[in-house]
Structure 1
């Protein structure tokens, strides 16, 4: 008779995600994952497949979590400009229990050239963020609160590029003042 799972899949996937986020894919061993997830190696393989499959699932969970957090925080805002500023603040001031930086950006810099599946997941998530920025820019330009000197898609791409760079910097430094200065300088692009 088959044994029933003695763990919550989403919980242990979240633990694996945290290990990959802190250490990266290459530096994370199967033993690291087994210990962090608190399950037997056999259960891990039976539930998630190999290390790469687990990583892709963790990456997808992270992307969904990040997108949900952005939407949740943007909904009560009435200003497109405030929404864009909030996205930058989320990169500078993550939740305290989270590792520094961004799992998607970390994956882009570590694996994108050699792992087409990981690269496609990162590209999909980046595209969603850029589309959100384009929507906010378009709404802000229509309401007159954001300069119309650049087309929405071009300004969104520029803002997204700055966000990605800020995510890299957030992993490298704990100097939040410097990160805020970078964000403020970037947000000048929105001025009329």
Structure 2
């Protein structure tokens, strides 16, 4: 007779995602995952597959959470520029209890050169953010807040590049003031 799961899949997947974000893929052992997730090794394999399959599911969950976070930031904004600023702030003002950095950036750097599936997942995350930025720039142009002559795709690429830099610097001892200055310089390019 099959046993019922004694854990919430999303909850334990979030724990795995947090551990991967804090330590990276290679440094995180299966034993650490089992202990951190609070489930038995057999349950981990039965539910999520091997370590790589678990990591890919963690990347998918991270993608959903980032999309949700960015959508909320954009919806809360009174204007396109305010929405873009909120996206930057969401990257800068993360809860100090959350692991620093970005799982997509970490994945691209650590696994991208040798793991096509992980590189594609990180690329999808990057593309989603860049698309959101381009949409906001176009909205700002339609509202007269951002100059029409600005190429929305190129501007989104540049903003995304700044956000990637912020995500990397967030893992270091860089101050939030420095990150905010980068944000302000990036937003100034849109005016």
Shared fold per TM-score greater than 0.5: yes
1:69 alignment partner in structure 2: 69
Aligned to 1:132: 132
Identify the range of structure 1 (33-42 vs 119-128) with the bigger mean alpha-carbon deviation.
Answer: 119-128
Stretches of structure 2 lacking an aligned partner (at least 5 in a row): none
Q: CA RMSD in A?
A: 1.1
For the residue of structure 2 that corresponds to 1:75, the secondary structure is helix
- TM-score for the superposition, normalised by structure 1: 0.96
Distance (Å, rounded) in 2 between the aligned partners of 1:7 and 1:80: 41
What is the TM-score when the length of structure 2 is the normalising length?
0.96
Per the alignment, residue 87 of structure 1 pairs with: 87
2:138–2:152 contact (8 Å) kept in structure 1: yes
Superposition deviation, residue 96 in structure 1: 2.8
**Does the Cα contact within 8 Å between 2:133 and 2:159 map onto a contact in 1?**
yes
Partner in structure 1 of residue 112 of structure 2: 112
Structure 1 residue ranges (4+ consecutive) displaced by more than 2 angstroms after TM superposition: 147-150
Match of 2:47 in 1: 47
Aligned to 1:190: 190
How much does 1:97 deviate? 2.3
Q: Which moved more, 1:125-134 or 1:142-151?
A: 142-151
| Contact residue 76 and residue 83 of structure 2 kept, 8 A | no
1:176 aligns with 176
Task: Please say if residues 133 and 156 of structure 2, whose CA atoms lie closer than 8 Å, have aligned partners that are also in contact.
Answer: yes
Query: Paired residue for 1:164?
Result: 164
- In structure 1, the residue matched to 2:2 is 2
SS in 1 for 2:170: helix
State the partner residue of 2:14. 14
Query: What's the CA shift string for 1:71-126, capped at 9, x where partnerless?
Result: 12221322000001111111111123211111111111111111100111111111
Q: CA deviation at 1:174?
A: 4.5
Q: Distance in 2 between matches of 1:157 and 1:148?
A: 17
User: How many residue pairs were aligned?
Assistant: 191
Q: Distance in 1 between matches of 2:32 and 2:149?
A: 50
Q: Distance in 1 between matches of 2:78 and 2:155?
A: 20
- Displacement of 1:135 after TM fit? 0.7
Query: Contact 2:18–2:99 at 8 Å: present in 1 too?
Result: yes
Unaligned runs of at least 5 residues, structure 1: none
